[in-house]
Amino acid sequence: MKIKILLCNCKGLCQSFKDSDFNTLPFQLESELDVHYAVLHPQLCGQGGNEALADIFRESAKDPETFIVSGACAPEAQEKLFQKLIRKTGFDPKRFVAVDIRSTNNDGILARIKEKVEALVREHEAALA
Ligand code: SF4
């Protein structure tokens, strides 16, 4: 099982992200969690962010053991924003997990993402048993 974490801080301008440090966050997540990597794009739903996401979705679609955890705005908003791209790239939407990382600090983001990652691992292990 491989978990890739994508992060977005809404161009660094949104007040919801004022208490988090996105320079240190990817390394913090990689150190604390058993994940393949954590990367940041400041506007995942923008043109460049979409291109980067499309590459990651396409590559990840090849491996049914790869999951993508996306830390950004509200999960419902992310699902709408990325739905088309997920379909277009052939990535299984069940392997896309959106997490709301707004209005907290790095430790709060770590706790929210950790909860999702642990749930994914548990579900995956249960499916294999
Ligand atoms: S994906 Fe969400 S958090 Fe990121 S730039 Fe778009 S609206 Fe903002």
Distances (CA, A) of 18 to 94, 105, 113: 31, 8, 18
6 lines ligand 1 (CB under 6 A): no
Q: What's the pLDDT at 129? A: 87
Query: What is the pLDDT averaged over residues 96-116?
Result: 98
Sort 17 into a burial class: Cβ within 10 Å, 0-12 / 13-18 / 19+. Answer: buried
- Total domains in the fold of the chain: 1
106 lines ligand 1 (CB under 6 A): no
Q: Distance (Å, rounded) from C-alpha 83 to C-alpha 108?
A: 27
Mean pLDDT, the chain, whole residue set: 97
Which CATH number characterizes residue 91's domain?
3.40.50
7 lines ligand 1 (CB under 6 A): no
Q: What's the pLDDT at 9? A: 97
Which residues neighbour 1 within 8 Å (Cβ) at sequence distance 6 or greater? Answer: 65, 66, 67, 120, 121, 124
Substitution candidate for ligand 1 out of 20, 44, 103, 104 with most atoms within 8 A of CB = 44
Query: What is the pLDDT averaged over residues 115-123?
Result: 96
8 lines ligand 1 (CB under 6 A): yes
Query: What is the pLDDT averaged over residues 47-66?
Result: 98
Which residue bears the tokens 């099982």?
1
Q: What's the pLDDT at 122? A: 95
Q: How far is the CA of 121 from the centre of ligand 1 (A)?
A: 26
The pTM of the full predicted model, rounded to 2 decimals, is 0.96
Distances (CA, A) of 43 to 33, 34, 55, 112, 117: 24, 25, 15, 20, 23
pLDDT per position as a tens digit, 36-45: 999 999 999 9
Q: Distance (Å, rounded) from C-alpha 120 to C-alpha 114?
A: 10
Share of the chain above pLDDT 70, in %: 100
Domain housing 124: 2-128
